């Protein structure tokens, strides 16, 4: 009976070691999102006839979204001149929107 308990204990120990290793994430391949991508998009203060277009990364959806604001005074925020720049900087291979695959 003692040898059965020893074998059972050894099997349980090996199982826990294997489960612990299978949950390990290799951080060499995980990329963090740059801080610019976590900032809100620019915000308009006041009313003006000048329209500003750009793209910003939305962390909630994981996609680059377009924005248009009309203002003479703009509160700074993350802003990319085109969708591809936003994708390269923030999405980094995590494509959620099929339109990101086409060249502009």
Is 0.85 topped by the overall pTM? Answer: no
- Structural domain boundaries enclosing 82: 2-101
Residues in the chain: 104
What CATH number is associated with residue 90?
A: 4.10.410.10
pLDDT tens sequence for the chain (104 residues): 566 566 555 555 555 554 455 444 444 444 577 888 888 888 777 777 778 889 999 988 889 999 988 867 777 788 898 999 999 888 865 555 555 444 44
What is the number of structural domains in the chain? 1
62: left (phi over 0), alpha (psi -120 to 50) or beta: left
DSSP H helical ranges for 1-104: 2-22, 83-86
């Amino acid at each position: 009976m003692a040898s059965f308990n020893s074998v059972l204990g050894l099997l349980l120990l090996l199982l826990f070691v294997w489960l612990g290793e299978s949950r390990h994430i290799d951080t060499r391949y995980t990329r963090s999102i740059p801080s610019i991508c976590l900032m809100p998009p620019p915000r308009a203060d006041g009313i003006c006839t000048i329209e500003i277009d750009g793209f910003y990364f939305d962390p909630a959806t994981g996609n680059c979204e377009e924005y248009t604001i009309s203002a003479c005074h703009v509160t700074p925020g993350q802003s990319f001149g085109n969708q591809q720049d936003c994708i390269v900087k923030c999405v980094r291979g995590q494509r959620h929107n099929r339109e990101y695959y086409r060249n502009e």
